[in-house]
A and B are shown apart, each in its own frame.
Chain A
Amino acid sequence: MNGGLQILLHARNSLSHSLRSGSGVAFIVLTVMVGLGLASLVFMPIETEMTTAEEFKKNAAQAVGYFLSVATLQPGEFNTFADRMGSGDLVELAMWGRYLVLDHPVLLSLTVILLGLVLPILLQLGSFASIAGDVQHHSIRYLLPRTTRASLLLGRLLGALILSWTVIACLQGAIVMYLGIVLPLDGWSALIAWGFQTLGALMVLTVPYVALGVLCSTIFRAPMVALMGSVGFTLAVPLIAFSSRQAWEPLGKLLYLLPWGYSHQLLSPDGHVVWKAALYCLGHGLIFTVIALLRLRRADL
């Protein structure tokens, strides 16, 4: 059978199996519940009338500016605040914050920023069992005489990606609908346009993390160990990078083992930067997939 067709068949089977498996149900429910919970947290100050929309935007601009400065400015690059100002970085950050908070629907921007921080961990739930589940139950032995290892892995990866994209699209759709109907601070056209743009950013961000989940699934034979490995790696990279950067500056570059170091640039006002960040994300995903392929080809199953 044609390789491409085999991949699509594996993707379809993986998708229907994910919906029937405990991990798939847990992934869908947890992702939607956590996503809606984060949105609720962001909307609460305005919904409870604790603050006005104008005041909220002002505070949000400060919060986003702080988040961007932490994410983009490496300490030690500049000796003084004046140096930073001189370099033009802060002006650029202020423009970026303005773009997210004032030029686009602020509530949606904040929700997407928070989702970008939480999704890398949740996404592992949807992909950790893609290979390890079959390896643990030895059912992979019955599959392999009829297909190639590469088609199996790529099909499972595609299935996990489609599931994740569908869940994220539904979540984003619910948030945009809610904002449009219940909290109409911005018009429908602005909401829909920004909704599609941020959905694209989240979908691109999904690729490397799902690929990481599949990679861990090929490395470890037990699904739970694969889950712990992928979640542990996703959490450990920023923690180790931020803490070790204090001791020795170059260790901060460990952040780039995963897209943590540049994923926020998917929401940049500069289209060129967005495309570059998207390409890096896809590149990261490709590297993880190639390692997973090499690992699966040599694995003793």
Chain B
Amino acid sequence: MAISDRPGGLTALATLNGFFAITSVFSGLQSIIISYRLLAFQQDPEATRSRWSRGNLQSLIDADVDPHQLELLGGLGVVVALLLALSVWGLLKRNLWTGKWCSTLAAAGLASVSWMAMEVWPLEHLRGVGMDLVRQMFYPLFLLFMVHGIFRKDLRLR
């Protein structure tokens, strides 16, 4: 078997993109599920049996959380996860489109999800996660710096 001349950093970046794809798909699905439960609760509050869930959903309604916006946030999270998953394959194959441009779109998507989350979720939910948001912003910036700077010559049309 021929020895791969792919830089180790690309493999590491692909692994990290895979990790973030998994976390993004889970948080996206979570937002979608909450949005559906919120819609169901708005239509018939008695349908939600658990008292704890009812309290949670009521607090979201009191905070004016729009279930459609939440659904959009979840959908965007899933799309970002798909882009990240595609970029894993692209980075491993050193492909220009799936590697470089899917990573770029995914980075923009990750930053947008963090920004949208600040708009959609009530302040009480976001209190204390400020530094986490900074952390979430770091990876998209780092990914852009790597694919457009350090690995710009490694990702080509194949």
Chain A interface mostly helix, strand, loop or mixed? helix
Chain A residues near B16 (CB-CB < 8 A): 25, 29
Q: A-contacting residues of B (Cβ < 8 Å)?
A: 7-9, 11-13, 16, 127-132, 134-135, 138-139, 142, 146, 150-151
Name the contact of A20 in the complex, choosing from B9, B131, B138, B142 (C-beta under 8 A): B9
Q: B-contacting residues of A (Cβ < 8 Å)?
A: 19-26, 28-29, 32-33, 36-37, 39-40, 43-44, 47-49, 174, 178, 182-183
Q: Are A178 and B9 in contact (CB under 8 A)?
A: no
A36 to B7, CA, bound (A): 27
Name the contact of A178 in the complex, choosing from B7, B12, B131, B139 (C-beta under 8 A): B131
Q: Are B134 and A28 in contact (CB under 8 A)?
A: no
Name the contact of A33 in the complex, choosing from B9, B12, B13, B135 (C-beta under 8 A): B135
Chain B residues near A178 (CB-CB < 8 A): 130-131, 134
Q: Are A48 and B8 in contact (CB under 8 A)?
A: no
Q: Are B131 and A25 in contact (CB under 8 A)?
A: no
Chain A residues near B13 (CB-CB < 8 A): 25
Q: Are B9 and A22 in contact (CB under 8 A)?
A: yes
A20 to B13, CA, bound (A): 10
Question: What would 10 A/B residue contacts be, using CB atoms closer than 8 Å?
Answer: A20-B7, A25-B8, A25-B146, A32-B142, A36-B132, A36-B135, A43-B128, A43-B131, A44-B128, A47-B129
A230 to B109, CA, bound (A): 38
Shortest CB distance A283–B (Å) = 34
Chain B residues near A20 (CB-CB < 8 A): 7-9, 150-151
What is the total of A-B residue contacts with beta carbons within 8 Å?
A: 67
Chain B residues near A19 (CB-CB < 8 A): 9, 146, 150
Chain B interface mostly helix, strand, loop or mixed? helix
Q: Are A24 and B134 in contact (CB under 8 A)?
A: no
Q: Are A47 and B130 in contact (CB under 8 A)?
A: yes
Q: Are B127 and A48 in contact (CB under 8 A)?
A: yes
Chain B residues near A174 (CB-CB < 8 A): 134, 138
Q: Which residue from chain A places its CB closest to the CB of B151 in the assembled complex? A: A20
Q: Are B130 and A36 in contact (CB under 8 A)?
A: no
A32 to B139, CA, bound (A): 9
Shortest CB distance A265–B (Å) = 28
Q: Are B128 and A48 in contact (CB under 8 A)?
A: yes
Shortest CB distance B8–A (Å) = 3
A148 to B92, CA, bound (A): 36
Q: Are B127 and A29 in contact (CB under 8 A)?
A: no
Chain B residues near A24 (CB-CB < 8 A): 9
Q: Are A36 and B151 in contact (CB under 8 A)?
A: no
Name the contact of A32 in the complex, choosing from B9, B12, B138 (C-beta under 8 A): B138
Q: Are B9 and A40 in contact (CB under 8 A)?
A: no
| Apart from the given pairs A25-B146, A32-B135, A32-B138, 16 other A-B contacts in the complex at a CB distance below 8 Å | A20-B151, A22-B11, A23-B8, A24-B9, A26-B12, A29-B139, A36-B132, A36-B135, A36-B138, A40-B129, A40-B131, A43-B130, A44-B128, A47-B127, A49-B127, A178-B130
Shortest CB distance A37–B (Å) = 7
Chain A residues near B138 (CB-CB < 8 A): 32-33, 36, 174
A21 to B7, CA, bound (A): 6
Q: Which residue from chain B places its CB closest to the CB of A182 in the assembled complex? A: B130
Name the contact of A36 in the complex, choosing from B127, B134, B146, B150 (C-beta under 8 A): B134
Q: Which 9 residue pairs of A and B lie closest in terms of their CB atoms, listed nearest first?
A: A22-B8, A40-B131, A48-B128, A22-B12, A25-B12, A47-B128, A36-B135, A20-B7, A25-B9
Name the contact of A37 in the complex, choosing from B12, B135, B139, B151 (C-beta under 8 A): B135
